[in-house]
Chains A and B, each alone.
Chain A
Amino acid sequence: MTDNHWLEAALAQALTKPLTHLVNLEQPLDFNSYVHAGGYMGATKALREFTPKEVLALVSDSGLKGRGGAGFPTGMKWSCVPALQEKPPAHVNTEQGNSYLICNGDEMEPGTFKDRYLLEGVPHQLIEAMIIASYTISANKAFIFLRGEYHVAAQRLQQAIDEAYENNWLGAKVQGTDYQLDLYLHTSAGRYICGEETALINALEGKRAIPRAKPPFPQVSGLFGKPTVVNNVETLSNLPHILKHGSEWFKALSPHSDPGTKIYAACGQVKNPGLWELPMGVTIRELLYDHAGGMQDGLQLKGLLPGGASTDFLTAEHLDTPMDFDSIAKAGSRLGTGGLIVLGDQHCPVAMVLNLLSFFAQESCGWCTPCRDGTAWAVEILTRIEAGSGTDADLSQLDELCDFMWLGKTHCALAPGAVEPLKSAMRYFKTDFEQHIEQGCCSYKKVAQNQLGASYE
């Protein structure tokens, strides 16, 4: 039995923190407790009171945008599934149930840990959400694609799936309707590129996870050539609540143009790293100082990535920017996954960028030359600069690489994602790059050595 006080406190936040009010990391709610807390009401409503097209209209009206990084409107994505269009293209088979839903639970973007919180803390919410989404796009098979390292989440999700089957929320004739849905958990074998939706589909088909060319988009031709919708864990988790409380409620959650709440996070050199579900559009300042407790003692803010490793740096001048898709874009970065990665003034920004680019070089799938070679070259050059043997020519070469790896020149968005922190760092921290070259060393390391009073290796 769930502790009553816990449940009371949780339910008091149901309307303001819909995504996380039922999160319990110690012991997530089992089926009965989840139902007791109001769970599966959204799915009941969808199946009993709405046609798939009505759910689609509701979700489109809510203005929900994807939380996987790109911020694509969810209703619009779903409406591209041929069966949901008034007149699907002639070559597309629109038989009911001829499509798939995939939940993207790969979460490998460095500095991002929000999906894990939902997966481990309230697995039934995701399953309920996937029932709603699958019903809407007429899918009879759905998959959760989970990164291999999330062992606790895997075990809890499988248990919740089993319970959903036992209670007729999955399988044939869901809740006595004619609708059938099978839901499977697939655990990945690693690699960041699996998070890219078309690479993910290849991984699920048992292939190397190389992204596919688009078009055709997965909504038209995805898993095994069938219409497929890929949505992020957090995106999907909004659905039960939109069904339950309506699209007007969802829009009213945020005073900004982007509706709903968002699970924001902060990590790096802050005092209290963590996660907070807040109305969409809190300012960076609020997030950093009110929630994350500000910088670690003795540090000043040097810069931050607002939404994971593949977003552009912002600096103290941007602190009052609201964390919504449009405002962050206007400030020159991307909301991405909504997690701040915070850099203090006593850590070398060149070393930080070197770490980021090493990640992208390692995780490049190797399919296209600008990315495969470009990320590796960037690492080599940054290593040289950080070690104090860089030249001015290295800086212009980095500029060129940023151009070679930019949007439209590579097969997928991994390489442009690598360019974002690199290019913005070279702009905001230009003097740091130049000093490394002029002084032939990293002055941050010198400071560290002096402070330690010993040689650093």
Chain B
Amino acid sequence: MQNSNSGCSSSQIIPSEMLTDEDIDFRQYLSSAEITAIEHDVAVMGNSEAAGIEALKVVQEHRGWISDDSLLAIAQCLNISSAQLEGVATFYNLIYRQQVGHYVIHLCDSISCHLTGYEDILHTIKAHLGIGYGQTTTDGEFTLLSNACLGNCDKSPAMMINKKHYHSLTAESVIAIINGLKQNVEQEL
């Protein structure tokens, strides 16, 4: 589709002569891998605005979360207003607008998990890691968030950590899972 704002490479969207001295070119902040992925989605949707959510996901995939700088860079790259993109970024719960830990625990708090005792799992995680919902451990390893039904209701209680789903949780199994992840991190270091 021929669309003047359907590209994303750093020279295409805002001609640099239009930038004043005070303007910071945030686009430089994005890596070429990120830009390529964003451009791909602009091409698929045939429209740069429609690529906004995907662009946020791409950058979050690379950086873990969406900082203000990332947000401005994406908005400039797509040539949409940063306020509009912020409105989008804050709407969707899987876009993190604050720094999160290495592992993000999404604990399902919906109905089947409620009926099968997710509250016990929540208490266990809180006690084991010393954090509540929305908080990150001081070592930056774990963030705890709630999540609506994860589609694992036949094996509830359930949770998702990064991209992996865990189900049929018990107080013991959840501690074992978390400790296993902790060891992974230690081995990586």
Contacts and interface: CB of A to CB of B under 8 A. Distances in A.
Interface string B36-53: 000000001101011111
Given A189-B57, A265-B154, A111 B149 contact: yes
Interface string B75-108: 0000000000001100111110000000000100
A343 interface: yes
Contacts of B114: 351-352, 355
Interface residues of B, number: 41
- Name the residue among A149, A206, A343, A351 with the largest chain B CB count within 10 angstroms: A206
B115 A356 contact: no
B92 A191 contact: yes
Contacts of B51: 206
A275 B152 CA distance: 11
Given A110-B111, A111-B153, A205-B49, A268 B116 contact: yes
B62 interface: no
A84 interface: no
Nearest to A456: B119
B160 A113 contact: no
B93 A113 contact: no
Contacts of B153: 110-113, 265, 267-268, 273, 339, 341
A111 B110 contact: yes
A341 B110 CA distance: 11
B156 interface: yes
A362 interface: yes
B147 interface: yes
Contacts of B56: 189
B52 A206 contact: yes
Nearest to A362: B148
Contacts of A204: 45, 50
A273 B163 CA distance: 24
B91 A355 contact: no
Interface in A78-123: 107-113, 115-116
B68 interface: no
- Name the residue among B93, B109, B154 with the largest chain A CB count within 10 angstroms: B154
Contacts, number: 134
A79 B164 CA distance: 41
Contacts of A363: 148
A5 interface: no
Contacts of A173: none
A333 to B, nearest CB: 15
A224 B112 contact: no
B150 A189 contact: no
Contacts of A109: 149
Contact of A209 (B47, B91, B155): B91
Given A151-B163, A274-B154, A206 B149 contact: no
Contact of A206 (B49, B112, B164, B165): B49
Contact of A352 (B111, B147, B155): B111
Contacts of A268: 111-112, 115-116, 153
Contact of A108 (B47, B95, B112, B148): B148
Contacts of A191: 91-93
Contact of B148 (A184, A192, A207, A208): A192
A46 interface: no
Contacts of A190: 92-95
Given A206-B88, A265-B154, 11 more contacts: A110-B149, A111-B110, A147-B151, A191-B92, A191-B93, A206-B50, A207-B88, A269-B115, A305-B111, A341-B111, A362-B148
Instruction: Give me the 10 closest cross-chain CB pairs, A-B, nearest first.
Output: A189-B92, A110-B110, A190-B93, A267-B153, A190-B94, A273-B154, A206-B52, A110-B149, A206-B50, A267-B112
Interface of B: 44-45, 47, 49-54, 56-57, 87-88, 91-95, 106, 109-112, 114-116, 123, 147-156, 160, 163-165
